[in-house]
Amino acid sequence: MTDHDKLYIDGQWVPSTGSGSIDVINASTEEVMGSVPEGTAEDVDRAVAAAKAAFESWSQTSTAERGKFIQGLADALGARNQEIAESVCGEVGMPMFLSQLVQAGLPAAVAGSYVGILDEFAFEEEVGNSLVIKEPIGVVGCITPWNYPLHQVVAKVAPALAAGCTVVLKPSEVAPLTSFILADIIDGLGMPAGVFNLVTGTGPVVGEAMAAHPDVDMISFTGSTRAGKRVSELASQTIKRVALELGGKSANILLDDLEGEELDKAARAGVGSCYLNSGQTCTAFTRMLVPRSKHDEIVDIIKDEVESVYSIGDPFAGEARLGPVISDVQRDRVRSYIQKGIDEGATLVTGGPEQPDDLPKGYYIKPTVFANVDNSMTIAQEEIFGPVLSVIPYEDEADAVRIANDTVYGLSGGVWGADKDRAKGVARKVRTGQLEVNGGGFNAVAPFGGYKQSGNGRELGKYGLEEFLQTKSLQL
C-alpha cells in the first residue's frame, strides 16, 4: 500500500482543503494499492498563487542553473527506476520488463535530453534592427493521462521548468502514484518553493479549475479528444495558450511490394505496434492496411504472431507480453468495441470479448484481431484503447492513403515497403504528426503531436521547449 495524504504546494507537503481521498486500484488484482488526496479548487488556487509568486525569480535564472536542476532530476529518476516500474506495473498493468524500459526509462531519458537542448537553444536572435527574445510563458498547468503516467508528466514538466516556467501538475487520478515520486525528487533537489506544485484530484474539479484559472498562462493537456475539447472551452475564456495531445486511430500501411521475409517481418512488427501497453497507447497502430491480394496471407501471419507470442498474464511474473487494461471501466469499454466489431460484420480472427478462462481476476482482455474490416466500421473509426487490431484491405497505393487519412485523427502511423524511398513518399501523404518508415525507432528529441482532432502543439526535443516560450521583439 502506498497512501499519500498530502499535496505538494509551495515547496511543502500540505493537507488538502478537502477531506476526500481517491483509491488507486491494482489492475491485475483489482485490489486497492494506494490512495491520494481528492484535491479541490481551493487547492488549485493555493498552488497557482505559489507558482505565480515563484515565476518572477525562476524565470530570471540562467539556463545553466536550470540545467543543473534538470540533470539532477534525470539522474534521480534513473536511480529510482525499479520503484517507478513497480508502481506503474501495478497501476497500469504493463509487464515489469517493459515498465522498466518504457515507463521508468523513458522519463529519465527525456528529462536528460533537455540539459543539452538548453545549452544549444537560441533564446535570442537579431532580425534587422530588432532583438527577438524567447521568454518563458509563465505559470503552466499540466494535466496528464494514466497510460504512461510518468512519461507524460516529464514530457511536460521538464521542458516547462527548463524554459523558466513554473508548474502546477494534475496527474490522472487513476494512476497518480509516480507523480509523488517526482515531487519527492524535486523536493530533494532543493528547487525553489513554488516552482513545481502537485495537486491530485478529478478532472471535473481540479482539472477544470486549472483550465479556467485566470493566473494560469498555459495549459498542456494529454488525454481524450472529448476532454481536450472541454479544456479548450474553459481555457478560451482567459485566452491562455493551450497545447493538446489527444486521441489517435493510426494506420500502418503495408505496401504491395513486400514479399516473403520482409512481409512476414512487417506484419509481425505491426502487431507489436498495436499491442504495446495492452493497446493503451495513443499512437497505437490499430489499423493495418494491407493489399487486398495479400489480405489472407497477412492475416495468417498475424494470427500466428498473436497466438504464439502475445501471452497475457500477471505483469509482475515476468512471462506475459500483455498485462491487463487499467480498470473495469476500460475493460468494459474495450469489450463493447469487440462485440460491436462482431455485430458490424468484421471477421473475428482471434481473441474476443470474453474474460480469459485462466484469469478470472484482473482487467484482462484477450488480444483480438479482426479481418475484412471496412474503414467505415466503428472499430476502424473510434479509438478503442485496448489490444484490438483491425486489418483493412485496400486496392492500390492511392486507396491506402485515402483510407489512412479517412479519420478525424492524425497522431501517428507507419509505412512498410521493400522500396524505402517509395515508403517515405507514401508517408509524406499521410496527414499525421509522426510516422515510422519500415519500423523506424522512437526518437526522444523528435517532435511529437497531432494533426486534426489529435491535437495541436508539439512535445519532446527543442520543439517541446518552444511550446513554453513567448516571443518578444525589441526594436533597436
CATH number at residue 141: 3.40.605.10
Same domain assignment for residues 242 and 264: no
Q: Is residue 446 part of a domain?
A: no
CATH number at residue 333: 3.40.309.10
Q: Is residue 79 part of a domain?
A: yes
Helix (H) or strand (E) holding 158: helix 149-163
What CA–CA distance (Å, rounded) separates 264 from 260?
Answer: 6
Alpha helices, DSSP H only, in 80-104? 81-91, 96-98
Per-residue model confidence (pLDDT) at position 461: 98
Degrees (nearest 5) of the Cα angle 44, 150, 328? 85
At residue 430, the 3 state secondary structure works out as coil
Q: Is residue 138 part of a domain?
A: yes
Same domain assignment for residues 342 and 433: yes
Q: Is residue 445 part of a domain?
A: no
Per-residue model confidence (pLDDT) at position 28: 96
Same domain assignment for residues 132 and 261: no
- Grid cell 499540466 is found at 142
Q: Is residue 308 part of a domain?
A: yes
Same domain assignment for residues 108 and 176: yes
Same domain assignment for residues 161 and 300: no
Helix (H) or strand (E) holding 72: helix 63-79
165 a catalytic residue: no
Same domain assignment for residues 226 and 273: no
What CA–CA distance (Å, rounded) separates 172 from 203?
Answer: 8
Q: Is residue 443 part of a domain?
A: no
Same domain assignment for residues 338 and 378: yes
pLDDT in tens, the chain (476 residues): 899 999 999 999 999 999 999 999 999 999 999 999 999 999 999 999 999 999 999 999 999 999 999 999 999 999 999 999 999 999 999 999 999 999 999 999 999 999 999 999 999 999 999 999 999 999 999 999 999 999 999 999 999 999 999 999 999 999 999 999 999 999 999 999 999 999 999 999 999 999 999 999 999 999 999 999 999 999 999 999 999 999 999 999 999 999 999 999 999 999 999 999 999 999 999 999 999 999 999 999 999 999 999 999 999 998 899 999 999 999 999 999 999 999 999 999 999 999 999 999 999 999 999 999 999 999 999 999 999 999 999 999 999 999 999 999 999 999 999 999 999 999 999 999 999 999 999 999 999 999 999 999 999 999 999 999 999 999 99
282 a catalytic residue: yes
Residue 223 Cα to chain centre, angstroms: 8
What CA–CA distance (Å, rounded) separates 241 from 68?
Answer: 28
Same domain assignment for residues 217 and 353: no
Output the DSSP codes for 313-379: --TTTS--SB---S-HHHHHHHHHHHHHHHHTT-EEEE--SSPPTT--SS-----EEEES--TTSHH
Per-residue model confidence (pLDDT) at position 279: 98
Range of the domain at 307: 251-437
Helix (H) or strand (E) holding 32: strand 32-37
The region that residue 39 occupies, defined by phi over 0 for left and psi between -120 and 50 for alpha, beta otherwise, is: beta
Same domain assignment for residues 77 and 219: yes
What CA–CA distance (Å, rounded) separates 150 from 145?
Answer: 9
Q: Grid coordinates standing for 381?
A: 473509426
How many domains are contained in the chain? 2
Q: How far apart are the first and last CA of the chain?
A: 61
Same domain assignment for residues 189 and 72: yes
Please, which residues have CB within 8 angstroms of residue 427's CB and are 6 or more apart in sequence?
413, 415, 435, 437
CA nearest 299: which of 352, 356, 348? 348
Which one of 38, 245, 383, 467 is the catalytic residue? 245
Q: Is residue 214 part of a domain?
A: yes
Q: Is residue 93 part of a domain?
A: yes
* 337 close to 386: Cβ distance less than 8 angstroms: yes
As to burial, measured by CB atoms within 10 angstroms (0-12 exposed, 13-18 middle, 19+ buried), residue 126 is exposed
Which one of 282, 397, 459, 467 is the catalytic residue? 282
Same domain assignment for residues 211 and 264: no
Same domain assignment for residues 52 and 191: yes
**Residue 116 corresponds to which amino acid?**
G
